[in-house]
């Protein structure tokens, strides 16, 4: 990650951005972020400590403490696919899960209107 991570992340952002029709300016901003100190370390930490970990117990604790959960999933996301939403639903039936139709992993940039509306509605509730 420390030798080739930034390059790899930029290449991935450009490729995914083109596939998901992300605005070129947004892709450029994402690529610029990979140059910030700590960015690669944060991505590596996520991979080591969150993405590939079983968080069942953490979600049970959140449910037991009545912490409201909103999870947005893109129906075309190949990084965090819809079966993950179903797994969350199994663990925490109180979690609000929204499927953003046609969205891939870049849903916050490609479907920002739906994402923002969902977050604002969740916060109002």
User: Residues 92, 114: one domain?
Assistant: yes
CATH code assigned at 76? 3.40.50.11320
User: Residues 49, 88: one domain?
Assistant: no
pTM, full prediction: 0.74
Q: Nearest-CA neighbor of 2 among 31, 33, 42? A: 42
Structure confidence by residue, pLDDT tens digits, 39-98: 888 888 888 887 778 889 999 999 999 999 999 999 999 888 888 888 899 989 999 999
Domain annotation covers residue 62: no
Domain extent at residue 41: 1-53
For 110-118, the CB contacts below 8 A with 24+ separation are 110/20, 110/21, 110/22, 111/74, 115/72, 118/70, 118/72
């Amino acid at each position: 990650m420390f030798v080739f991570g930034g390059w790899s992340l930029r290449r991935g952002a450009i490729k995914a951005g083109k596939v998901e029709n992300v605005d070129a300016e947004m892709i450029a901003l994402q690529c610029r972020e990979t140059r910030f100190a700590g960015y690669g370390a944060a991505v590596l930490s996520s991979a080591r400590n969150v993405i590939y970990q079983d968080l069942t117990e953490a979600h049970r604790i959140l449910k037991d403490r009545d912490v409201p959960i909103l999870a947005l999933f893109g129906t075309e996301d190949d990084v965090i696919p819809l079966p993950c939403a179903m797994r969350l639903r199994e663990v925490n039936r109180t979690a609000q899960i929204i499927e953003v139709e046609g969205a891939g992993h870049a849903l916050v940039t490609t479907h920002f209107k739906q994402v923002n509306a969902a977050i604002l509605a969740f916060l109002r509730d």
